[in-house]
Structure 1
């Protein structure tokens, strides 16, 4: 498995992985394995990748998964990001006030079903930390409360901190974070 920055030729694969893993495209069994809420376009991928970047896990010519990294000040962003960022004003990460950190947004991240359970997420996560080291102090993400598989994968699997829960637009989320 090779982890590298995405190139435009990867965008169709990223969009397909995204499409196949949104709640409306998953049956009940696959929904329990985790889902992605993002509906990014090719133009959005280009914008993200031209700034902090998108990393892809590639096996042969197949994109096995991807993770996006975005500056917290990047606009436009979904309104749920504003709700997430509000939480950083009153919470800490590893006993450091989050207001003293320079964070970036981690995610969305998604692994193709065919490659799940093969360590792709941990490889992408290690690459994110290496890529952002020295540039940012922490990564922030939100995970829906009704997506327990993703929460377990990030908290228990990757060692992220479950900082707090927050409510936005009728749904409960977890703010998860990690130091770089």
Structure 2
């Protein structure tokens, strides 16, 4: 598997993966077991994220098809919505300086590639790549997204709080890139 930062030629595939993982066509039970991504991102917003800390993508070696993706952005660029709420809550806790916090997510893997460790490899790559610039990663998960909660609880992340926004409840997960790398160094 090859993991790289995405570039402008990847935007349409990224949009396709994100749109497919929204789960709009799933029943409530399917959304619960399969998970879903939130929000809508336009190509222009993806390009902006690519120019910051980046969108990381996985591909089978020698294949142009993106199998999974994970977005990152400096916490300070969050302007509204759950990303801003999660960032502010973590920043107010004082666990890391504002400029040392990055947002992690959304993440998504194509349906046919799920369960193969792609998210773990993306997380490890992100931690290796961003550890010099950032001390803390922050993710937030809708409490109705049981699959995503299970996945995040599987990783060496800390549940660092909760918040409610627009009638939706969220769990905040934080992780230190160096600590994640050390954890997997011991277990791999």
**TM norm structure 1:** 0.89
CA distance in 1: counterparts of 2:80 and 2:110, whole angstroms: 24
Q: Tell me if structure 2 keeps the 8 A contact 1:65–1:111.
A: yes
Matches within 5 A, 1:35-114: 35-59=36-60, 60-74=63-77, 77-91=79-93, 97-100=94-97, 102-114=100-112
1:100 shift after superposition: 4.2
1:23 shift after superposition: 3.1
Unaligned residue ranges in structure 2 (runs of 5+):
178-188
Q: Which residue number corresponds to residue 159 of structure 1? A: 156
CA distance in 1: counterparts of 2:48 and 2:13, whole angstroms: 17
CA distance in 1: counterparts of 2:27 and 2:20, whole angstroms: 11
1:78 shift after superposition: 3.3
CA distance in 1: counterparts of 2:92 and 2:51, whole angstroms: 31
Q: Tell me if structure 2 keeps the 8 A contact 1:160–1:178.
A: yes
CA deviation digits over 1:51-94, x for unaligned, max 9?
Answer: 1111001121210011111111115x332223212322554xxx
**Number of residue-to-residue matches in the alignment:** 173
CA distance in 1: counterparts of 2:125 and 2:9, whole angstroms: 20
Matches within 5 A, 1:111-122: 111-122=109-120
What's the C-alpha RMSD, in Å, of the aligned pairs?
Answer: 1.6
Higher strand share: 1
**TM norm structure 2:** 0.85
SS at match of 2:102: strand
1:7 shift after superposition: 1.7
